[in-house]
Amino acid sequence: MKRILVAEDDIVISKLYQLHFQRNHLHGSFFTTGDGLIQSARHERPDLVILDFELPGVNGQEIMYKLHLIPGCENLPVIFVTGRATPVVVDDLRKAGAREVLGKPFSPIQLIQLILKLTAAQG
């Protein structure tokens, strides 16, 4: 089973992720801050990470940099979900290493399809 880590500080959106993960038989661990997500990634290598761009105390891009420094997570696929999905932000995040950037509100079906596509590509 694929292991997905999610950092999202909005409880409603986090519950939405959980609901759609259950429906699609995906295992997710959910965090409201980047610190918890980073600690989890150090102990058990995830298959994919979903990050909110704006989290308390740190932005998602900084979390992605920290993730990619963890041995075994250098090429970890990261999907950003943000309310600030302007063309400039999307371009900057992709240049920084994000595999995909979705704007809020987002399509849960599109997100699940991306997760399945990116985790299948890993083998």
Give the pLDDT mean for 79-95. Answer: 91
pLDDT category, 123, cuts 50, 70, 90? low
Q: What percent of the chain has pLDDT over 70?
A: 98
Give the chain's end-to-end CA distance (angstroms, integer).
Answer: 12
> And the tokens for 33?
């801050």
Per-residue buried b or exposed e for 52-66, using 16+ beta carbons within 10 Å of the residue's own CB: bbebeeebbbebbeb
Give the pLDDT mean for 61-66. Answer: 94
DSSP character at residue 1: -
CATH of the domain at 47: 3.40.50.2300
Nearest to 79, CA basis, from 121, 107, 41, 118 = 118
pTM summary value: 0.93
> Is pLDDT of 122 > 80?
no
Residue 35, number of CB atoms within 10 A of its CB: 16
**Distance in angstroms (rounded) separating the CA atoms of residues 2 and 54:** 25
Q: What is the pLDDT of residue 85?
A: 84
Which domain range does residue 56 map to? Answer: 3-120
Which residues, at least 6 apart from 30, have a Cβ–Cβ distance to it below 8 Å?
Answer: 6, 8, 14, 17, 18
Residue 50 C-alpha from the chain's centroid: 1
Average pLDDT, the chain: 92
Q: What is the pLDDT of residue 81?
A: 93
* Domain tally, the chain: 1
Give the pLDDT mean for 53-68. Answer: 91
